[in-house]
Amino acid sequence: MSFTKRAVLKLSCAALVAFSPLPALAQDWEPRRPIDFVIMAGPGGGADQIARFIQSVAERYDLTSRPLVPNNQGGGSGAEALLHLNNANDPDHTILVTLNSFFTTPLRQANLGIDIQTFTPVAMMGVDPFVLWVHRDSGITNFDQWLETVRGMNGDYVMGGTGSGQEDSIVIAFLSNAYDLDITYIPYDGGGAVARDLAGQQIMATVNNPAEAKGFYEAGDVVPLLAFSDERLPAFPDIPTIRELGHDFSYANQRAVVGAPGMSDEAAAYYQAVFTQVYESPEWQGYLESESLSPLWMSPEEQRAYWDTQVANHRDLLASLGQ
Amino acid sequence: METLGLLGDGMLIALQPINLLLIVIGVTVGLFIGAMPGLGSVNGVAILLPITFLVPPTGAIIFLAAIYYGAMYGGAISSITLGIPGASTAVATTFDGRPLAMQGRASLALVTAAIASFIGGTVANIIFTGFAPLLAGVALSFGPPEIFALMLLAFATFVGLGSDDIPKTIFSICFGLVLGAIGFDQISGAPRLVLFDITGFLQGIGFLVLAIGVYGLGEMIWTIEQTRGDVENTTPRMTAKGMAQDTAESLRRGWRGTTIGSLIGFFVGILPAAGATPASLMSYGVTKMISRRPQDFGRGSVDGVAAPEAANNSASTGSMLPMLTLGIPGSPTTAILLGGMVIWGLTPGPRLFVDQTEFVWGLIGSFYISNVAALIINLAFIPVFIWMLRMPFTILAPVIFVLSIIGGYAATRDMFDIWMILIFGIGAFVLRRMDYPLAPAVLAIVLGPIAEPTLRQSLLLSGGDPMIFLNRPIAAPITIIAISLILLPLVKVFRKKKPA
Amino acid sequence: MRYGEILTAGVLALFSIYLMWKSTELPIGFIEGRGPGGGAWPFWLSAIMLLSCIMVMVRWWRGTSPAAQSDEPFLDGYGWRTLALVGGGLLGFVALIDILSMYGAIAVFLIYYLRFLGRHSWALTLVFAVVAPIALFFFFEGAMRITMPSGWSFTDPVFDILYDIIY
């Protein structure tokens, strides 16, 4: 047994020598353990891609003295990840990349006993807007046409999205309420599967993030109709926002990093400095632009205030949508 | 012709010294990661993803694909030598690989696995090269009803794999399916079956937790108890001549399984969400059905090792097809590879084949080279694994226990899972003693979480009408074949009973 | 007769009933136009589990299954001792992980198994108990970057040194 181990070790050590990160930040506190970098999604989804991108930027610039170790905890709409942080026995070395499940899951599952205000704000990396997509072959090119089609189908119009009570279903439920539509909603386990089944015309429309639909959009398979952002998206300048249509609504998925409850102030300051550097890196700025994310940089205090407004907003949204 | 030219260029890219070195390192690392119970290609690819910044994207994806390949070869090693399927793709390999190892023919099983993997991978590569763009549409035409029909077919092919005790086999299948339903209900988003209100159950029970509990602990304790701790060591020393004989024997006795596995593996592999696990199960089942000696299956059939191994390698190449032609992941590992492409600044999607010729064909060329490298490296390491098997059982057993626990933790990094492994281990020992077959439960926990959501998505699509499985052009034939396969053994049972 | 057979079937039947009851937290019926509810899949499968257990019991009662006719006890003295020593060892192993760290627990388990169950020499036992945890540490933490549980705080100094070596 030990021989085989050694063979692997030799190879892997060779690979590691090239990378051993040097302490890049002169700070009082430095991690002494590998940092548990929890991802609120399974491997391969949109959220996972972003988390790994962030990790790769931190690696490239040797920003941390101990590596960020990605840890996918995607179960239960983020409940698993939140519990993992809540029970972390080493909060100084445990951070989480979040989505909006950070707000919705504690609301919908009160029995988990999670109070997000106990978490430690680290960095708001950006927000991922939602866009309404249809397949090219549907022949629909604008939102009015889409409304007409949906109304004409009497409930047979099929849309897909992520699990019930999650981001996609909130946006679609809002649409159906606002325009009094009857839509059949099919929940999938991730944005990638949703984009795929739209391209294969298993479903008729989605509200994917631009990053998830990008490949099919560039190939001309899917057509954007409406953006759920505050302003028009630079990548789709001709697509109206729902605000322009007279609805006081916008919805975006947050891509933020938070620390475990009970993290020391020194550790929080360390991570805030690290992720500020990641945020300012040309790679991340390029990613924001190419994947149509909107920047929304905030100080830690502002993040806490933002959490409060988001929780209140989501509570209202979920209540008004009957979820 | 044009394709051959592109392929030639691609191979030349893969044969550049730096890329060749990456292939050799990647395959070796993958082999060991795959051989470690609890770790699979997903772990290997995910962990080494950031390292790939050091080389250009083509080299990076070649490296990661080599790890993926190596891990597929390696999965068979823990199935055969330790009796623990290190990944769900290798469950079917334990059915006959383990009995062969117990009969002292571990080297035959390992050689068969390596050769079948090589042939499976190569056949898949050739189909891939010739027809990739043509087959891309097939992946998209599989919606929820088609995938559910396919899962039904996978169940149908292993319906006959249980023991003769029918109630106990049915119990085992249903038990696995119910375990797979623990956690959250995907469709309604509500928590489900949180047993005894322990929050740990919210995350569900993974395949590895059950598989490591059943095989790593339960089966081991059972073996110790059965043999009174005195396991006879029958594994002979490895010689070059023995290896050559094993190669000849594996080809002679395993060609049927290899052929079936290669073909089924590729076509199931290209379908989204299906992946290598159902592919290997279906290949095993089909090979058993058409074999002249079906009674050997489960008792050390060479075909029984060759079929799933050819299939899982073929499927892993197949799952690259939707990834490259459409930007759709065919397996969790390819999902991470897609993430890598974004990090490297490429846009996965239908344009990739056109816009990034060098990247795409360099990767395809590397499949061929990686496959050869994996075969050679795997064969070279077989004596090491044989040497390991020759250790006294009182050393091997604790080593397997330790690897089970540490590997089980590595998979999810959650102590709750370790406690569950222990509970399943003791439970499996008791049930094994009572002649409950447990393999069906282990398979059901893999297929259940794919089958249930697709069933319910389909019914949502049709407004609750089950005819959706019979009036779609692709789903209908698959459903009909699956149902007839399930009913066939039942008819036989009733026929048998009548005269008596 | 093997009372183990009926006892096991009985326990499994009770467990199936518990699963059925637990499944009813979500709708178990067919919702018009939407297909089965969230609890239907586990509920009906658990019901089949219960039926299988009842069939096992019936066959035991009528003596038609091989298990029902066997005189072999569930476990003899040796079997119980094996289960207690090996199963108990594993239980201790898992319980020690949170206290001594994963690697400490592995060392203790290997000493227990190799020396006291396997009756190997102290030399061989100690070589395994020292080399295996260190090798596993470098494989998992160094190469695979998977952090294992580190135990109570008294283990921290050791890990600080080890992490300084690999990073």
> Nearest 5°: CA angle at A24, between A20 and A30?
90
Percentage, residues of chain B above pLDDT 70: 94
Nearest to B205, CA basis, from B225, B185, B188, B183: B183
The pLDDT value given to residue A19: 41
pTM value > 0.95: no
Q: pLDDT digits over A191-214, tens only?
A: 778 888 898 898 999 998 888 888
Q: Can you tell me the distance from the alpha carbon of A80 to that of A95, in angstroms, rounded to the nearest whole number?
A: 14
Contact indicator for A240, A227 with CB cutoff of 8 Å: yes
CB B98 within 8 A of CB B79: yes
Q: Which amino acid is at B216?
A: G
Q: Return the residue in B82, B203, B462 with the most chain A beta carbons within 10 A, the one to mutate for interface testing.
A: B203
Confidence band, pLDDT 50/70/90 cuts, at residue A96? very high
- Which pLDDT tens digit goes with each residue over B469-494? 998 998 999 999 889 888 876 676 66
The pair of structure tokens assigned to B361 is: 């064909």
Tens-place pLDDT, residues C104-150? 999 999 999 999 888 889 999 999 999 999 999 988 887 777 888 88
Q: What is the dihedral of CA B154, B156, B158, B160, to 10 degrees?
A: 180
For chain A, residues classed under CATH 3.40.190.150 are: 25-128+252-320
Contact between B191 and A76 (Cβ < 8 Å): yes
β-strand pairing of A157-162 with A131-135 = unpaired
C-alpha A125/C-alpha A116 separation (Å) is 18
Q: Please, is A286 exposed, middle or buried when counting C-beta atoms within 10 Å of its C-beta (0-12, 13-18, 19+)? A: exposed
Contacting A residues, span 275-294, partner chain B, CB-CB under 8 Å? 291
Residues of chain B in contact with residue C45, where contact means CB-CB under 8 angstroms, are 174, 177-178, 181
In single-letter form, the type of residue at position C28 comes to I
Question: With a cut of 70, which residues of chain C have pLDDT below it?
Answer: 1-2, 66-71
Chain B hits for C119, Cβ within 8 Å: 394
Residue A38: both structure tokens together: 């929890």
**Residue A68: in which H helix or E strand, if any?**
strand A68-72
- Of C48, C69, C90, the one marking the end of a domain is C69
Enclosing domain of residue B94: 2-497
One domain, residues C135 and C91: yes
CB–CB of B199 and A112 under 8 A? yes
Cβ pair A167, A254 in contact under 8 A: no
For chain C, positions 57-86, list CB contacts with chain B under 8 A: 59, 65, 67, 74-75, 78-79, 82-83, 86
From residue C103, alpha-carbon distances to B313, C118, C130 in Å are: 34, 20, 10
Give the C-alpha separation, B161 to A93, whole Å. Answer: 47
Residue-wise pLDDT tens digits, A116-129: 899 999 999 999 99
Kindly state the average pLDDT of the residues A75-88: 83
Residues C81 and C64 in one domain: no
Would the pLDDT of A61 be above 90?
Answer: no
Contact predicate A67/A34, CB 8 Å: yes
Confidence category of residue A3, pLDDT binned at 50, 70, 90 = very low
Q: How far apart are CA A245 and CA A248, in angstroms?
A: 9
pLDDT number for residue B495: 64
Phi, psi of A288 (to 5 degrees): -55, -45
Do residues C162 and C81 share a domain?
yes
More confident residue, A216 or B86: A216
Per-residue confidence (pLDDT) for residue A119, from 0 to 100: 93
Closest residue in B to A49 (Cα) is: B339
Residues 6+ apart with CB under 8 A from B126: none
Q: What is the mean pLDDT of each run of 10 residues along chain B (500 residues)?
A: 82 88 92 85 78 80 89 88 83 89 88 93 91 80 89 80 76 93 83 84 86 90 78 68 81 88 90 79 88 84 92 89 80 81 80 84 91 93 86 86 90 87 94 87 88 91 88 91 82 58
A-B contacts (CB, under 8 Å): 172
What total of structural domains would you count in chain B? 1
Closest A-chain CA to B464:
A184
Q: Give B 447-476 residues with CB within 8 A of chain A.
A: 453, 457, 460-461, 463
Q: How many domains does chain C have?
A: 2
Q: Which domain holds residue C154?
A: 77-166
Cβ–Cβ below 8 Å for B415 and C98: yes
Residues 123..142 of B with a Cβ closer than 8 Å to A: which? 139-142
Yes or no: domain A131-227 corresponds to CATH 3.40.190.10: yes
Last residue of one domain, picked from the residues C69, C88, C109: C69
Going through B107-237 in order, the beta strands assigned E by DSSP cover: 183-184, 191-192
Q: Using CB atoms, which residue from C128, C132, C144 is nearest to B39?
A: C144
Tens digits of residue pLDDT in A126-166: 999 999 999 999 999 999 999 999 999 888 899 998 877 78
Interface of B with C in 160-189 (CB under 8 A): 165, 167-168, 170-171, 174-175, 177-178, 181-182, 185, 187-188
- The answer to whether A70 touches A51, Cβ cutoff 8 Å, is yes
Q: Specify the fold of A25-128+252-320.
A: D-Maltodextrin-Binding Protein; domain 2 (3.40.190)
Confidence bin at A2 (pLDDT 50/70/90): very low
Question: What's the gap in Å between the CA of A289 and the closest CA on chain C?
Answer: 31
Residues of C in contact with A34 (CB under 8 A): 141, 145, 147, 163, 167
- pLDDT value for C153: 78
Shared domain check, C86 and C64: no
A253 or A45: which carries more pLDDT confidence?
A253
CB atoms B29 and A11 under 8 Å: yes
Which residues in A lie closer than 8 A to residue C139 (C-beta atoms)?
5, 8-9, 12
Burial B131-155 (b: 16+ CB within 10 A, else e): ebeebbebbbebbbbbbbbbbbbbb
Which residue does chain B place closest to C79, by CA atoms? Answer: B225
* Pair type for strands C30-31 and C35-36: antiparallel
> Which residues of chain C lie closer than 8 angstroms to B399, CB-CB?
132
B221 touches chain C (CB under 8 A): yes
Closest CA to C48 of C12, C76, C79: C12
